[in-house]
Structure 1
């Protein structure tokens, strides 16, 4: 039993959403390999990548309600003031937004940035442009959540990317979520936007690497100072 527990501690779990894809990739590798060994090896590599893509590692989330935690692994691609998607009902005035872009090599399990109640879930079909483009926030397929917390309302938008074809949401409207709790997943490259209340102050810069459920994106509080950053 201790050996099994040791293996569990050292092996990164796979999210159940990935099982069918891993099985399909593996079956394709076996079929192709029976005809051409080179294709079998290519299929095996693709299967290994699929296992890596759907990994769901344990994360250690800071227990501090004055912090906004990253909902995604990836790179901060935008920080600024933008009008939120109309379906969220967050108004027509620009809100501060932090965008995290996920490549096909990042973990794609998304986590709640704050503790609160899911007041609204709004799905909107759309295009599949490169998620790193500014217009992807308006034109691409997306799924948005409004989380009501003690510090205000937060918008969290999952945006499909160039090769993403499926946005999965695990929570329902009216449910409560904890900061760092899994709320969704996007398959194969995408982006997550976080719309912040006025009192939030970013603690990251464009280009910062983020880890879902661990990296602090912003601090809440009117007295929180703005940070400056330098590049190497």
Structure 2
């Protein structure tokens, strides 16, 4: 379980106990259910990461909502994959490739629904660039109408392994990935992905 869950667990546990000891003890069930949801939401299951120097793995669990060229008018345009994470998905973000984080930018913005087309342009987000041997991957942690905080556990200059945990987004969100032209996209809209496990791109 992600450590970010502990403040919520402690708070909800204290409230549930206090109410359970009062004449309104039945209301404590509401907080017990909220506590169960928090534990479930912040789960962090172990994953078996595939091996290979020519693959890109999913940076998050969720459903693919968009696969498109970043610049449709250009033949050699990078590809964009958008992944929507519902409140029931695991919200841990993982590194799509092994390499070094060359740049991290936090962009302040709005909190419109993550499924909106323009969410990647106007919402609060972390933009993480990962490089390895000339290959550059851009991953975006995008906040949504419920998700109000993107958490990144790594800093620029740090190395990451393929599928390594790098952060999380709290309570429903979206993760975008921009793949360079030398990679074939292996997923389509509607596919369900498992972070660190599903291979979403392979080098030509």
Match of 1:49 among 12, 37, 47: 37
Does 1:24 pair with 2:20?
no
Match of 2:165 among 182, 207, 215: 182
Name the SS of the counterpart of 1:106 in structure 2.
Answer: coil
Partner of 1:69: 57
Q: Quote how far apart the aligned CAs of 1:219 are.
A: 1.1
CA-atom RMSD in angstroms: 1.5
How do residues 1-232 of structure 1 correspond to structure 2 at under 5 angstroms?
Answer: 14-33=1-20, 34-82=22-70, 95-150=78-133, 152-221=135-204
Name the SS of the counterpart of 2:202 in structure 1.
Answer: strand
Q: Unaligned regions of 5+ residues in structure 1, if any?
A: 1-13, 84-92, 222-232
Q: Quote how far apart the aligned CAs of 1:134 are.
A: 1.0
Q: Quote how far apart the aligned CAs of 1:162 are.
A: 0.9
TM-score, normalised by the number of residues in structure 2: 0.93
Give deviations 1:80-108, integer Å, cap 9, x for gaps: 0226xxxxxxxxx9531111110111111
Q: Unaligned regions of 5+ residues in structure 2, if any?
A: none
CA distance in 2 between partners of 1:216 and 1:70 (Å): 6
CA distance in 2 between partners of 1:187 and 1:32 (Å): 27
CA distance in 1 between partners of 2:166 and 2:179 (Å): 18
